[in-house]
Structure 1
Amino acid sequence: MYLVKAPFFLKWYYPNDVLWNQSRNEKKLYLTFDDGPIPEITPFILDTLKEFNVKGTFFCVGENVQKYPDIFQRILEEGHQVGNHTYNHLKGWNTPDEIYIDNIERCQQLTQTSLFRPPYGRPKRSQLRQLQHYKVIMWDVLSGDFDLQLSPQKCLQNVLKHSQNGSIIVFHDNIKAVPRVEYALPRAIVHFLNKGFEFGIL
């Protein structure tokens, strides 16, 4: 069970400085990619962004950065932003604070970034209090590309229907998401460029 549009009650639960979207006054969108880098899909994403001269923000899992340093380096070399997504993709709600924070710091040794996105969007408030030196990035549009029951067409529709000025959009560079990302990402970019939107990094 997941909600494509970030619900109000979650925004209420977390501190005010957690970022769910950027300014609604600018016709700009923010593409973000979680869980990579991996060879099965991250290069496709990078090729697509390069084709349209668009930048994105990649929230990287530390163990994947360690496995595929060349892909991680390509993300940086092509001018994209990177963020910390823990070393082992831990869910904060299910993890003792000390283990969670240590896992983030292990990833930080590899990513060296000021951005953090909690996997599953589920950190405890007690964990966030220890992460005040990071800019914590959530989202307001979840593509659903990780859902094996979701058609590529519906994934695209999720993004087109719910995105608005300042939206932070989540795609995934993981194996589950491949067919939906390959279909939806380039089509979404073309759609929004034709509507006069720009794409920014966080």
Structure 2
Amino acid sequence: MKRYASFFAALILIQFALPGVIEAKVADYPLQTKYPNIMLYQGEVPKKVIALTFDDGPDARYTPKVLDVLKKYHVKATFFLLGSRVKKYPDVAKRIVEEGHAIGNHTYWHPQLTKTGIDNMKWEIKRTTKEIERATGHHTSLFRAPYGALNDKLVKKIGDMGYKGIGWSIDTNDWKELPTKKIINNVMNYAHPGAITLMHSAGNWTLDLSGTVQALEKIIPRLRKEGYEFVTIPEMWKISHP
């Protein structure tokens, strides 16, 4: 699922290039600048808060392990869920909500929406919403596009549908099966107030995300030592839109 082709990697680098540790600013994200009431890539905040987010779950291998680490450190995160996997693992999706984490819609089949178009996006969102509500009893107004691939028309439609589009300002690249130390560095070297980190709690059945789980054990205490407070995306949104 996350073994992206070079085209997608280039797309991410072009549209969501990592900001500097100190110079991180909302202006680095044109869609957030243009549609501040719809899009959020990083929070506009005066204090050290950071949001951990996890894509492509749930599954029965890594999502429970990620949840175990978050529970150990009393951290609430945000999970962007695939409808097809919520249907397959409803109990894990339910656990995410029961343990106090926020959830978001990440489409049903993980298409590149800039290629499949508005009608497909509407179907993907609505189908996933049904599966999430069936499994958890909760509705989410958060949406993250696969690969972060969006354009103006898609963003406007996301807003029309009553959703908030969520991107990220720190990409851990954990889907590349990076060593634990590298994943840790990808977070710690770019941490900034209002950061939204992209990690994964599931992936292709051959994908090894053990590095993500192990890195999370180190990242949380290190960020806390540096004075960071962990928030969910709904909390980050409220801080950024007082």
**CA separation in 2, counterparts of 1:127 and 1:162?**
29
Q: CA RMSD in A?
A: 1.9
Match of 1:11 in 2: 29
How far did 1:196 drift? 2.1
Match of 1:131 in 2: 158
Aligned residues: 201
How far did 1:23 drift? 2.9
**CA separation in 2, counterparts of 1:182 and 1:58?**
15
CA deviations on 1:26-51 (whole Å, 9 max, x unpaired) are 21110000000001100011000000
Matches within 5 A, 1:89-168: 89-111=110-132, 112-132=139-159, 133-148=162-177, 150-168=178-196
Query: What TM-score comes out, normalization by structure 1 length?
Result: 0.92
The DSSP-based 3-state class of the residue aligned with 1:35 is strand
Q: Which of residues 214, 217, 236 is equivalent to 1:186?
A: 217
How far did 1:10 drift? 7.0
CA deviations on 1:96-116 (whole Å, 9 max, x unpaired) are 221121111111112321100
**CA separation in 2, counterparts of 1:28 and 1:63?**
32
How far did 1:190 drift? 1.1
CA contact (8 A) 2:181 2:215 kept: yes
After the TM superposition, which parts of structure 1 deviate over 6 Å for at least 4 consecutive aligned residues?
Answer: 7-10
CA contact (8 A) 2:104 2:143 kept: yes
Cα gap change, 1:147/1:28 in structure 2, threshold over 3 Å: closer, same or farther? same
Matched, 1:72 2:93: yes
The DSSP-based 3-state class of the residue aligned with 1:153 is helix
CA deviations on 1:92-151 (whole Å, 9 max, x unpaired) are 122122112111111111232110011100023212211111111101000110013x32
Which has the larger share of helix? 2
How far did 1:9 drift? 8.4
Cα gap change, 1:200/1:177 in structure 2, threshold over 3 Å: closer, same or farther? farther
CA contact (8 A) 2:169 2:196 kept: yes
**Unaligned 5+ residue runs, structure 2?**
1-8, 133-138, 234-242
Matched, 1:24 2:37: no
Q: Report the identity percentage.
A: 34
How far did 1:170 drift? 0.8
